[in-house]
Structure 1
Amino acid sequence: MPAFQTLPNDILVIIMHYLRIQDLAVLSRTSKSLHATVSQYGWNDHLRLNPRRCLSLSKALGVWDARMQVRYHTLADRAWARSEFVARPLQRPWYGKLQPLMAINSSRLIVAAGNSLYSFVFKAPRTAELAPSIHFECTYTFSLEADLRRDVTGIAFVPDDGLDRTLYVGFEDGRLERVVLPALQAGQYQALIGTYSRHCQYEDREVIESVSVSDNLLLSLSSAGMAKLFRLHPTAPATDISSLNTEVRSWSSYLSTRSSTAYAAIGTSSSTPLALHSITNSELSTTPWALLHQSAKEAERSRSPAVYGICTAPPSSPWGASEQIIVSGWYDGKVRVHDLRSSSRISGAPSGHPTPLSPVMSFYDPWSFEPIYTLDCGGGSSSHIAAGSARHSVVAFWDVRAVSRGWSVHAPGNDSSPVYSLILEGSRLFGANQSRSFIYDFGPGVTQTTYPHLPPDRNERDGLQHRKDWDGVGYYVTKYPHSRGEM
């Protein structure tokens, strides 16, 4: 070790690139000089080489040093490996059965249900041992009267020069609006979003089914298949720059500007259920650039199922941080992974279309045959897929490094509902079903003050049961493995 200490810092930095977290921890305890070197370079380099998707931790990461951040992520990864988490609703059930959606940025989580936006803000923890907290901010409403045609059907945050209050919202009646959340007064927990905070960007006759954002571009997709591409401006309404019409029932979209070829992925109910349209010189190609399909054997046995959810691999994923990897959830209950660089293709493409790519991996819950309504990637070591099913509020998880060890869990309360929306971070999963939003927290330091207080349920009809071993913080949920072994 004395010889190791005499090495120049630039050599030590290179060596530390290849060390595990345990090795860095041991090295930092060897001597004062190596402790200083690891503190200055080792932990920071580890974070740089292993980025995490963790917007809800943004306030905490701004005050934690590099070592504290690595510690938090490491403990969360270990909890993922054990399938241990705190399950908790974020709110009491809202009135009626709705189809909620969620949007997130570094300041807040928005849960859109009906014509209301429930806002939860992120806070830094008081001490390093506590988990970053989430507080209820306000319920924003678009109208004081219930109107199904004004329900929110698509939502996404957009860049606004750090204000973190600007969204694009699609509605049941076909309108796409730019919305700026109004400022609140102290103690204000309800607010009406007036006309001064809204701008009608676009109006269609059909439901706005999906809103996707990537960098300075936004894609809206209607249920009838009209896709419109907009260029975003931080302080002004977006500019309409291109459009295409799939002319089939459309469900989902994903916009990528960071792939080698920018594209819009569109999920439909058709013979080509997942099509990628390239974006060149700000123009959407009307002919698909790539078609993603089932395997050849599945294509022979059945009709093409619809695609309801689309996402890509997160940074530091075992697959590599590439938007050439596309993960999708299908009506037949399967999650399929396609690699645009793969040469594995199937026959039977429509005339004038590219030969469809077959999946490189597929996942499914063997105990459930329900459609996949939503999905996201992230989780422990950025290696997990989470998928929300169409019944019983079930979320299925798979670690792509150990595909046979998948497991599923019901949301708190066991609602007999689809999971309509998911957001998966490194240590947290946010979800929403027809009754309420919920969270699974795999991170350390969760206490009763981490999440919003839930007022007592006077009717005791919400189905929630506290877990005895979580001191009133977590709630009981039903969990089961996909294999026959017990968890």
Structure 2
Amino acid sequence: MDHQQSTISVLPTDILLLILSTLNVQGLASLSQTCRWMHELVSEFGWTAYARLHPRPSHSISNSRNIWTPREQVRYDYLTDRSWSKTDFVARPLSRTWGGKQSPNLAISNSRLIVAAGSTLFSYAFCGTPNNNPSITLEATLLLNEQHVRGRNITSITFLEDGGLDQTLLVAYQEQLVEVIHLVPVVQNGKHTLTFRRKHQPAFPRDDYIESFSASGQYLLSLSSNGTARLLSQAVRGSSSAASSSSTIELGERSWRCHLSADASTPFAAFGTSGKTPLTIYSVLPDRLSPTPHTILHAQKTTPTSTDSLPSLAVYGIARAPLASPMGSSPQILVSGWFDGQVRIYDLRSSNSVINGDSSSGPTFLKPVMSINDRWLQEPIYAVACGGGSAAHIAAGTARHSVVSFWDVRSPKTGWSVHAPGNDRSPVFSVILESSRFFGATESRPFVYDFGPNPTLETYPPLAAPAPPPTRGGDREGLKYKPGLVTYRVVKYHHASSGLPSEH
């Protein structure tokens, strides 16, 4: 052992670091056990390099990761990836059932998850913990419509940049109103909670309601239900105006989802609509949106050159592809959820995907590089998100039976689906996928699937008392709240299996 130490120690430090950067978790762990010198080298450099080269983006555990050592971070990620490979997770509702049927929206930051249902905001705080069990607590329930104004249901919500405070939200209502909501931390009866201040935003004319927001870099993009897309060159900060300048284009179709990528080599905006061209790409110029699309993302591998014969579909969900996608981690790779139940992936860089035709006088038609679906459930896809184990998964919320489908893009034929806790006959309206956690929301409740190591009852908000409902109503049958119950029974099945679904 001493001979090995003296032999390796003569190598230059930069060579040793290059060797460490090529090792996997098992290799680093084995090397660190060979001798004290190697243990110190791996502890100081090896785990740090591995964590940097294998990122696992995750808002809900970011506060905890700031406390953990590099080795603890890698251990958490390794155990999480192993749980994903085994489809082993804890299923948990985040609240009791809401009254009535809602169309909820989710927004997330490093500090909290916001669930918007009806005109109520539920704020779940992420707590940094020194162990590998970061917790989630319900910090506040905020009623934004105490005056019972008609039509004040939230249609879209997003966090705005506020210097890392994670206390500024942009909220759109069905009554064609947009407000900035400033969350204000307070202490009441010895407990930390939130109140709020609100400010109307005149940068959004009250001619239609906002269906979708997307923020990226210095830009904020909004899309209204009738197809008005508005690019703001400066997001709301503090109590200032929503924009220093804006650009507006009219898509002319019923619209559902927008996605802004300001960090791409060529910044662009993607729009999901209903119609002949349901997924289009527009260039983002330094001061405005391009008035015409430069790329149309098509649903099929081939198509006639005439746009009149394109199928009439709709796109409800758009997201950036997983970081560990076989095609790379470029922001120019898009994942989209379609009305026909397909999740289609497009590479805007790929010349091999261009459909035959001369694009010199018009937009380029691009075919998908991959299409995946749950063959047992041909339902519309309402929302998509990317992340998960090895940062290589796609999650899709479907239109019925509260089903969420998952695929590993490295092996897309091994996908699987699972019903949300409670098995609501509902769409999964909004989804967020992180390294170890999936957040979703049905018409009845928000929920989480936790793939992290050893979550406990203290990891989640208690369910002893119901959250104040947005409207009147009660719990649905089939979801039992029992003291000490960590995971709730859900039904899952594998797409390639011909057997019956199994309970998890």
State if a TM-score over 0.5 links the two structures: yes
Does structure 2 retain, via aligned residues, the 8 Å contact 1:158–1:167? yes
Q: Would you say how many aligned residue pairs link Structure 1 and Structure 2?
A: 482
- Verify: 1:398 aligned to 2:407, yes or no: yes
1:26 and 1:423 map into 2 onto residues whose CA distance is 35
Pairs within 5 Å for 1:51-450: 51-125=55-129, 127-128=130-131, 130-147=132-149, 149-187=151-189, 193-195=196-198, 199-230=201-232, 231-235=234-238, 236-239=240-243, 240-296=245-301, 303-343=311-351, 344-347=353-356, 353-450=362-459
**CA offsets, 1:201-250, max 9 Å, x none?**
42332221001000221011100111111112533232132111101111
Task: Please state how far the C-alpha of 1:345 moved relative to its aligned partner.
Answer: 2.4
Task: Please state how far the C-alpha of 1:45 moved relative to its aligned partner.
Answer: 0.9
1:116 and 1:201 map into 2 onto residues whose CA distance is 23
Letter in 1 for 2:235: L
Instruction: Tell me the equivalent position of 1:26.
Output: 30
1:352 and 1:248 map into 2 onto residues whose CA distance is 23
Letter in 1 for 2:151: R
Q: Matched residues, percent identical?
A: 46
1:345 and 1:335 map into 2 onto residues whose CA distance is 19
Q: What SS does the corresponding residue of 2:82 show, helix, strand or coil?
A: helix
**CA offsets, 1:147-192, max 9 Å, x none?**
4521111111111012210011111122222221133332478876
Task: Please state how far the C-alpha of 1:287 moved relative to its aligned partner.
Answer: 0.6
Root-mean-square deviation (CA, aligned residues, Å) is: 2.4
2:344 and 2:464 map into 1 onto residues whose CA distance is 40
Task: Please state how far the C-alpha of 1:295 moved relative to its aligned partner.
Answer: 1.7
1:434 and 1:349 map into 2 onto residues whose CA distance is 45
Q: What SS does the corresponding residue of 1:27 show, helix, strand or coil?
A: helix
- Verify: 1:7 aligned to 2:1, yes or no: no
Does structure 1 retain, via aligned residues, the 8 Å contact 2:80–2:453? yes
2:289 and 2:242 map into 1 onto residues whose CA distance is 16
Task: Please state how far the C-alpha of 1:315 moved relative to its aligned partner.
Answer: 3.3
Per the alignment, do residues 98 and 134 of structure 1 end up closer, same or farther by CA in structure 2, a change over 3 Å counting? same
Q: What SS does the corresponding residue of 2:417 show, helix, strand or coil?
A: strand
Q: What SS does the corresponding residue of 1:59 show, helix, strand or coil?
A: helix
Per the alignment, do residues 65 and 481 of structure 1 end up closer, same or farther by CA in structure 2, a change over 3 Å counting? same
Per the alignment, do residues 54 and 356 of structure 1 end up closer, same or farther by CA in structure 2, a change over 3 Å counting? same
Q: What SS does the corresponding residue of 1:224 show, helix, strand or coil?
A: coil
Range with bigger deviation, 308-317 or 431-440: 308-317
Q: What SS does the corresponding residue of 1:266 show, helix, strand or coil?
A: strand
Per the alignment, do residues 77 and 298 of structure 1 end up closer, same or farther by CA in structure 2, a change over 3 Å counting? farther
Letter in 1 for 2:327: W
2:475 and 2:320 map into 1 onto residues whose CA distance is 40
Instruction: Tell me the equivalent position of 1:478.
Output: 491
Letter in 1 for 2:145: S
1:463 pairs with one of 474, 478, 485: 478
Q: List alignment gaps of at least 5 residues for structure 1.
A: none
Q: What SS does the corresponding residue of 2:41 show, helix, strand or coil?
A: helix
Does structure 2 retain, via aligned residues, the 8 Å contact 1:53–1:314? no
Task: Please state how far the C-alpha of 1:373 moved relative to its aligned partner.
Answer: 0.2
Task: Please state how far the C-alpha of 1:461 moved relative to its aligned partner.
Answer: 3.6
Does structure 2 retain, via aligned residues, the 8 Å contact 1:87–1:474? yes
Range with bigger deviation, 453-462 or 43-52: 453-462
1:177 and 1:471 map into 2 onto residues whose CA distance is 40
Per the alignment, do residues 67 and 194 of structure 1 end up closer, same or farther by CA in structure 2, a change over 3 Å counting? closer
Letter in 2 for 1:22: Q
Per the alignment, do residues 56 and 475 of structure 1 end up closer, same or farther by CA in structure 2, a change over 3 Å counting? same
Range with bigger deviation, 356-365 or 179-188: 179-188
2:27 and 2:18 map into 1 onto residues whose CA distance is 14
Letter in 1 for 2:119: N
1:178 and 1:460 map into 2 onto residues whose CA distance is 32
Letter in 2 for 1:282: D
**CA offsets, 1:459-479, max 9 Å, x none?**
774422589xx9720000000
Q: What SS does the corresponding residue of 2:30 show, helix, strand or coil?
A: helix
2:147 and 2:77 map into 1 onto residues whose CA distance is 44
Does structure 2 retain, via aligned residues, the 8 Å contact 1:318–1:382? no
Per the alignment, do residues 42 and 191 of structure 1 end up closer, same or farther by CA in structure 2, a change over 3 Å counting? closer
Instruction: Tell me the equivalent position of 2:470.
Output: none
Q: What SS does the corresponding residue of 2:395 show, helix, strand or coil?
A: strand
Q: What SS does the corresponding residue of 2:28 show, helix, strand or coil?
A: helix
1:250 and 1:459 map into 2 onto residues whose CA distance is 33
Does structure 2 retain, via aligned residues, the 8 Å contact 1:466–1:473? no
- Verify: 1:48 aligned to 2:63, yes or no: no
Q: What SS does the corresponding residue of 1:296 show, helix, strand or coil?
A: coil
Per the alignment, do residues 155 and 73 of structure 1 end up closer, same or farther by CA in structure 2, a change over 3 Å counting? same
2:324 and 2:413 map into 1 onto residues whose CA distance is 22
**CA offsets, 1:115-169, max 9 Å, x none?**
11100000022x52x4100000101121114445211111111110122100111
Does structure 1 retain, via aligned residues, the 8 Å contact 2:96–2:465? no
Per the alignment, do residues 459 and 152 of structure 1 end up closer, same or farther by CA in structure 2, a change over 3 Å counting? closer
Per the alignment, do residues 297 and 170 of structure 1 end up closer, same or farther by CA in structure 2, a change over 3 Å counting? same
Task: Please state how far the C-alpha of 1:15 moved relative to its aligned partner.
Answer: 1.0
**CA offsets, 1:283-332, max 9 Å, x none?**
10011021111123588997231000000124344432211100000000
Does structure 1 retain, via aligned residues, the 8 Å contact 2:183–2:195? no
- TM-score for the superposition, normalised by structure 1: 0.93
1:355 and 1:261 map into 2 onto residues whose CA distance is 15
